[in-house]
Amino acid sequence: MPTIAAVAAAAGVSKTTVSHVLSGKRPVSPATRRTVLNVIDELGFQPNSLAQALRSRRTGTVAVLVPDVTNPFYPALARGLQRSLLAQDYLLLLADVGIGDRAVHAFLADAVQRRVDGIVIAALAVTAEDLRTVARARISVVSVGVRLPIDGSDVVSSDDEAVAFDATTYLVNRGHRRIANIGGQPGTPPALGRAKGYRAALEHAGLDLPDGMQVVGDWTRDGGERAMRRILEHATRPTAVFCANDLMAIGAMDAVIAAGLRVPQDVALVGVDDIEAASLVRPALTTMRIPADEIGQVAGSLLLERIGADTAPIGRSIRVSHELVVRDST
């Protein structure tokens, strides 16, 4: 591959000048500019981004950590993120943390070593220890789902307590009195808020938290199915279940139907996210819609502002709104 030195030699100018026709950071006479451009074209010169990044301290890369790319919520988020970031020529380094035996910690260390300009961490449990190296490297961080233990990091999320409160209250208003909950994996970000919102709604309605009716899944369809089976083992069934995401709600539906019961007549089901599958499954799933694409886009904007900023990070918190989508499972 030709280097900037080769271009300079062929064009009869200095490397400095070639660099400046490339970057536009200093005026270059139209004539030399043209000559250089021609040579670049002839030689097929492609500037080495590594060398550029090493000097200029900007890699044009943002790392994205998601727990599971096969949960459609995250591709949608990634798409929104790319939309924001592409405008500034950033590329996405994607890490599906759920795969292999690499932990969040290993991916973060890798991102730091690669000197990415920013990191987006979606719905993942991260310790203060994990974030120490990130903070030391002064890499901008935006988290999705919950605030991270790093000074002034931005967060964009749905109001998880309100999401769960509103979904559960909707079930209460439909006349349900025995409402179960399939929660997210303990320790992962939106799990806690959604569990709290569920309990708050029951309390607000003057209902007891039914015994053994709050179980946790792992955010997957299989996990939701297993959780629902455990709920159905109890002598008295719930008449409705609030599931902390759609994938688990779909798994719960599998279990209800497999048990010979009907949705919603025997057990009503509500999910969260509104992934496409929610509208495809039969009965179609009632769910609390969270705009994944918008979250990604907002996360991207926040990150860009941080990367560009010379002031200390502020620690903003952006809430996206949720919306009940009523279908046939309730």
Partner DNA sequence: CTGAAAGCGCTTACAG
Per-residue string for binding with DNA, 34-73, x by CB under 7 A?
-----------xxxx--xx-xxx-----------------
Q: Confirm or reject binding of residue 127 to DNA (CB under 7 A).
A: no
Q: Which is nearer to DNA, 13 or 275 (CB)?
A: 13
- In whole angstroms, what is the distance from residue 238 CA to residue 211 CA? 10
Q: Which is nearer to DNA, 28 or 125 (CB)?
A: 28
- In whole angstroms, what is the distance from residue 178 CA to residue 240 CA? 7
Backbone angles phi, psi at 231, to 5 degrees: -65, -40
Q: Confirm or reject binding of residue 17 to DNA (CB under 7 A).
A: yes
Whether 246 and 221 have beta carbons less than 8 Å apart is answered as no
Least distance (Å) from its own copies to the CB of residue 66? 10
- Residue 69 contact, options its own copies, DNA, none, Cβ 5-8 Å cut-off depending on partner type: its own copies
Task: Give the dihedral of Cα atoms 272, 270, 277, 217; nearest 10 deg.
Answer: 70
Q: Which is nearer to DNA, 19 or 82 (CB)?
A: 19
Q: Confirm or reject binding of residue 19 to DNA (CB under 7 A).
A: yes
Q: Confirm or reject binding of residue 236 to DNA (CB under 7 A).
A: no
- In whole angstroms, what is the distance from residue 123 CA to residue 117 CA? 20
Least distance (Å) from its own copies to the CB of residue 14? 21
Q: Which one of residues 9, 32, 75, 83 is an interface residue with DNA (CB under 7 A)?
A: 32
Give me the residues paired with residue 154 across strands.
142
> How buried is 272 (Cβ within 10 angstroms: 0-12 exposed, 13-18 middle, 19+ buried)?
buried
Query: Is the dihedral angle over the CA atoms 209, 160, 242, 248 positive or is it negative?
Result: negative
- Residue 17 contact, options its own copies, DNA, none, Cβ 5-8 Å cut-off depending on partner type: DNA
Least distance (Å) from DNA to the CB of residue 186? 38
Whether 323 and 163 have beta carbons less than 8 Å apart is answered as no
Q: Which is nearer to DNA, 17 or 188 (CB)?
A: 17
- In whole angstroms, what is the distance from residue 232 CA to residue 223 CA? 14
Q: Confirm or reject binding of residue 138 to DNA (CB under 7 A).
A: no
Q: Which is nearer to its own copies, 32 or 49 (CB)?
A: 49
Binding residues vs its own copies (CB under 8 A): 1, 44, 46-51, 53-54, 59, 61, 69-70, 72, 74-76, 78-79, 82-83, 86-87, 89, 91-96, 99-100, 102, 109-110, 112-115, 132-133, 136-137, 221, 250, 276-277, 280-282
Q: Which is nearer to its own copies, 254 or 266 (CB)?
A: 254
- In whole angstroms, what is the distance from residue 159 CA to residue 321 CA? 7
- Residue 5 contact, options DNA, its own copies, none, Cβ 5-8 Å cut-off depending on partner type: DNA
Q: Which one of residues 10, 13, 104, 278 is an interface residue with DNA (CB under 7 A)?
A: 13
Give me the residues paired with residue 289 across strands.
273, 323
User: Closest by alpha carbon to 185, among 223, 222, 228, 156?
Assistant: 223
Could you write out the DSSP letters of every residue in 51-81?
HHHHHHS---EEEEEES-TTSTHHHHHHHHH
Q: Would you tell me which residues interact with DNA (CB under 7 A)?
A: 1, 3-5, 12-17, 19-20, 22-23, 25-29, 31-33, 45-48, 51-52, 54-56
